[in-house]
Amino acid sequence: MSNEFETVVGLEVHCELATRTKLFCSCPNRFGDEPNTNVCPVCLGLPGSLPVLNEAAVEMAMRIGLALHCEIRPSVFHRKNYFYPDMPKDYQISQYDAPICVNGWLELPDGSKVGIVRAHLEEDTGKTTHVGSTGRIHDASYSLVDYNRAGVPLVEVVSAPDISSGQQARQYVSELRAILLATATSDGKLEEGSLRVDANVSVRRKGSDELGTRCEIKNLNSLRSLARAIEYESERQADLIRQGLEVVQETRHWSEDEERTVPMRSKEEAFDYRYFPEPDLVALVPGEQWIERVRGSMGMLPEERRKRLIEAIVRPRSSSEPTTSHISQAESDAEKSSDETPAEAVLSHVAKVVELGLDDLVIAAIELGADRRIAVMRAVNEAAADPERARHIEAGHFAKLIEMEHKGRISATQAKTILARMLEGDGEDPETIAAKEGFSALSRDELVEVINSVISANSDAWQRFVSGDQAVGKFLVGQVMKATRGRADGRAVMELLTARNEG
C-alpha cells in the first residue's frame, strides 16, 4: 500500500467452545460425527422444546473474557430472527446489547495492543452442503443440512478497529488462538472451522481520524488468507479512492483461487433481525465470587508465559544455579559464547515455543544448565512434530540431550534422531538411546582423517574452496557427513576445513 493511505481493520472471531455438550442441550459437541446423530428436540428446534444454558460454556466465556482483560458483566440472551435452513428455530440465540464480556484488550507479541469491544455467547448453526448444478444454471441444485453443529457454543470476540495491516491481523488471530488453547476453551482450528474470522476492512488517508467505508470480508480459512485478503482489500479500496470512486459498504468473499475479494451475491432484502430478549432463558448474572473463582482457576496466559521464557533465556547464569554440577567450567565458558551470540535469533522463537506449549520444558532444561539456543531450537523444530508428547518429556532428559549435543558428544543430526525416539514416549534416557543406536561423536583425530580422505577424493572442489568459493564448503561438509553417516558435527567440520585452508 502506498504511503498516502492507512488500513483500518476490526476482526470478528467466532470461537467454538470445547465443551462436552452443546450450549442449550445435552447433545455431544463433537466434530466429525455421522450427520444428524448428535441431535435432540432442543437443537432440532422441535415444537415445545426449550433451551437450558450450559454452565461450562458460561465459564469458558468468562475465561476468554478474563484473558482478554474484559469486564465480566450481567448479560441477557436475545433472539436474532432470520430464516435460514441450517438454523433449526429460524432464530439464533445470541447476546445483543448486554454481552457477558466487554471492554478488554489483547497484547500482541510485538507489544502492540488491540482493543476488545466485546465477547459474547451464542449458538452455532448447522452445516449446509450445497449440491451444485452441473452445467445448466437454472438447474435444480439443492442443499443438504446436517444439524450436528446446530447449538454448539460459540464465543464471538469483536475487536476494536485497531489493526493496521494483514500481518498484524494475522498476529492478532495467532495470539487469540494461543489464549484459547492456554485457557482450554477451544481447539482453535481454522481449518475445521472451530475458529472463524471475518474482517472489517477500510482505508483512510494518513493522519485522518475519520473511518472510511468498510467492507466485511468472509471466507478467511487460514491465517495466510486473512493477511492476503486484508492486503488485497485495502489496496482495492485505496485504488477506488485514488480514482475518485466510492467504496460501497458490502460483504465480500475471499476467493482463495483468484486471490481476490469478490462481492457476495445477496438479495435486496434489507436485514431486520428483530432482536428481542429470549423469553425462554433467564438473565445471566455472574457474581464477584464466581468471577474470582474462574480467574483463580486459569493457567498462565501466553503473554505472561512469553515474558517468563524470555527472562529465562536472557537471565545470566548465577553460580548458585545447578549448572556447574553438570557442565565443567571450560565447557560452560564455551557455552556462554554460543549462548550469547544468537540471542536475538533465539528470542524470535519465543512465541512459537509458547504456542507449542513447550515453554515449561525449555525453561526447566535451561534451569538444569542446558544451552539456551539448542534448547529453543530443538523445541521449535524437532519437538514441534508432536508437542503433546514433547510436553511429557522429562526435563532432565531433555537437558541431558542438549548437553550431549552441546559438548559435541553427539552430532546435531544424532541429537535430532534421539529426540525423535524420546517423542515415542518410552521415557528412555538419551544416553541409553545413544548407546543403543551406537551414536557417539567422532574424535578429532578420526574426523581429521575423514576430512583428509574427502579432500583427496574431491580435489577440484577443494581447490575452489581454497580459492575462496565459500559455497562449495557446504558440499564438502555434506560429503564428510555422508562418510560419517551423520556422526560428525557440521559446525566442527566447517571449522576444521577453514582452519586447514587458512593453515
Partner 1 sequence: MSSLDTEPPSASEQISVEEVIHVAKLARLQLSEEEVKTFTDQLASVLRYASQVAALDTATVEPTAHPMAMVNVFREDLPRPGLNREEVLDQAPAVEGAFFKVPRIVGEE
Partner 2 sequence: MGEWSALAISQGVRDGELKAVEIAEETLSRIETNDPLLHAFLHVSPELALKRAAELDERIAKGEDPGRLSGVPVALKDNLCTRDMPTTAASAILDGWIPPYDATVVSRLKESGAVIIGKTNMDEFAMGSSTENSAFGATRNPHDPARVPGGSSGGSAVAVAASLVPLALGSDTGGSIRQPAALCGVVGMKPTYGMVSRYGLIAFASSLDQIGPFAATVADAAVLLEVIAGHDGYDSTSLDRQPPSLLDQLDRGVDGLKVGVVSELLEGADPAVAVQVRLAAETLANAGALVEDTSIPVLTYSLPAYYLLAPAEASSNLARYDGVRYGLRVDAPDVESMNSRTREKGFGAEVKRRIMLGTYALSAGYYDAFYLQAQKVRTLVINGFSAAYESYDLLLSPTSPTTAFPLGSRLADPLSMYLSDICTIPSNLAGHPAMSIPFGTDDDGLPVGVQLMAPALGEAVMVRAAAVLEAAESHLSGQQRRDEDEQ
Shortest Cβ 45–partner 2 spacing (Å): 5
- Interface pattern 259-298 for partner 1 (x via CB under 8 A): -----xxxx-x--x-x-xx-x-xxxxxx------------
Task: Give the number of other Cβ atoms within 10 Å of residue 327's Cβ.
Answer: 21
Check binding of 31 to partner 1 (CB under 8 A). Answer: no
**What whole-number distance in Å separates Cα of residue 490 and Cα of residue 483?**
12
Q: Which is nearer to partner 2, 26 or 452 (CB)?
A: 26
Which option in partner 1, partner 2, none does residue 49 bind, with CB closer than 5 to 8 A by kind? partner 2
Report whether 217 contacts 254 (CB < 8 A): yes
Check binding of 248 to partner 2 (CB under 8 A). Answer: no
Shortest Cβ 95–partner 2 spacing (Å): 15
* Spatial CB neighbours of 416, under 8 Å, sequence gap ≥ 6: 378, 381, 382
Among 1, 12, 14, 40, which residue sits at the site for partner 1 (rule: CB under 8 A)? 40
Which amino acid would we find at residue 392?
H
- What the block records as the C-alpha cell of 216 is 466485511
Shortest Cβ 255–partner 2 spacing (Å): 24
**What whole-number distance in Å separates Cα of residue 151 and Cα of residue 49?**
13
Q: Which is nearer to partner 1, 56 or 347 (CB)?
A: 56
Check binding of 109 to partner 2 (CB under 8 A). Answer: no
Check binding of 285 to partner 2 (CB under 8 A). Answer: no
Q: Candidates 1-9, 280-288, 364-372, 423-431 — which segment interacts with partner 2 by CB under 8 A?
A: 280-288
Q: Candidates 39-47, 95-103, 333-341, 352-360 — which segment interacts with partner 1 by CB under 8 A?
A: 39-47
Provide the H-helix boundaries in 68-202.
166-182
Report whether 399 contacts 368 (CB < 8 A): yes
Check binding of 141 to partner 1 (CB under 8 A). Answer: yes
Q: Candidates 116-124, 139-147, 234-242, 341-349 — which segment interacts with partner 2 by CB under 8 A?
A: 139-147
Task: Give the number of other Cβ atoms within 10 Å of residue 373's Cβ.
Answer: 21
Which amino acid would we find at residue 74?
P
Among 1, 44, 310, 483, which residue sits at the site for partner 2 (rule: CB under 8 A)? 44
Report whether 212 contacts 203 (CB < 8 A): yes
Q: Which is nearer to partner 2, 58 or 380 (CB)?
A: 58
- What the block records as the C-alpha cell of 33 is 460425527
Burial grade of 245 (CB within 10 A; 0-12, 13-18, 19 or more): exposed
Check binding of 52 to partner 2 (CB under 8 A). Answer: yes
Check binding of 369 to partner 2 (CB under 8 A). Answer: no
Among 43, 54, 57, 91, which residue sits at the site for partner 2 (rule: CB under 8 A)? 91
Q: Which is nearer to partner 1, 129 or 249 (CB)?
A: 129
* Spatial CB neighbours of 317, under 8 Å, sequence gap ≥ 6: 323, 332, 336
Burial grade of 300 (CB within 10 A; 0-12, 13-18, 19 or more): middle
Which option in partner 1, partner 2, none does residue 36 bind, with CB closer than 5 to 8 A by kind? partner 1
Shortest Cβ 27–partner 2 spacing (Å): 13
* Spatial CB neighbours of 248, under 8 Å, sequence gap ≥ 6: 213, 215
Check binding of 54 to partner 1 (CB under 8 A). Answer: yes
**What whole-number distance in Å separates Cα of residue 288 and Cα of residue 298?**
16
The region, left, alpha or beta by phi > 0 then psi within -120 to 50, assigned to residue 262 is beta
Rg (the chain; Cα; Å): 29
Each residue of 414-439: b (16+ CB within 10 Å) or e?
A: bbbbbbebbbeeeeebbbebbeeeeb
Which option in partner 1, partner 2, none does residue 89 bind, with CB closer than 5 to 8 A by kind? partner 2
Mapped onto helix, strand or coil, the DSSP state of residue 131 is strand
Which option in partner 2, partner 1, none does residue 71 bind, with CB closer than 5 to 8 A by kind? none
Cα angle 405-406-408, degrees, rounded to a multiple of 5: 65
**What whole-number distance in Å separates Cα of residue 86 and Cα of residue 299?**
36
Among 3, 32, 48, 55, which residue sits at the site for partner 1 (rule: CB under 8 A)? 55
**What whole-number distance in Å separates Cα of residue 106 and Cα of residue 111?**
10
Rounded to 10°, the helix 444-457/490-502 angle is 70
Q: Candidates 75-83, 104-112, 203-211, 470-478 — which segment interacts with partner 2 by CB under 8 A?
A: 75-83
Check binding of 74 to partner 2 (CB under 8 A). Answer: no
Which option in partner 1, partner 2, none does residue 35 bind, with CB closer than 5 to 8 A by kind? partner 1
Q: Which is nearer to partner 2, 92 or 171 (CB)?
A: 92
**What whole-number distance in Å separates Cα of residue 166 and Cα of residue 436?**
49
Shortest Cβ 67–partner 1 spacing (Å): 20
Shortest Cβ 29–partner 2 spacing (Å): 19
Report whether 443 contacts 408 (CB < 8 A): no
Which option in partner 2, partner 1, none does residue 91 bind, with CB closer than 5 to 8 A by kind? partner 2
Shortest Cβ 19–partner 1 spacing (Å): 5
Check binding of 413 to partner 1 (CB under 8 A). Answer: no
> Which residues of this chain interact with partner 1, rule CB under 8 A?
19-21, 25-28, 34-41, 43-44, 52-58, 74, 76, 83, 85, 128-130, 140-147, 219, 253, 264-267, 269, 272, 274, 276-277, 279, 281-286
> Which residues of this chain interact with partner 2, rule CB under 8 A?
41, 44-53, 79, 81, 83, 85, 88-91, 140, 143, 145, 267, 272, 274-276, 279-282
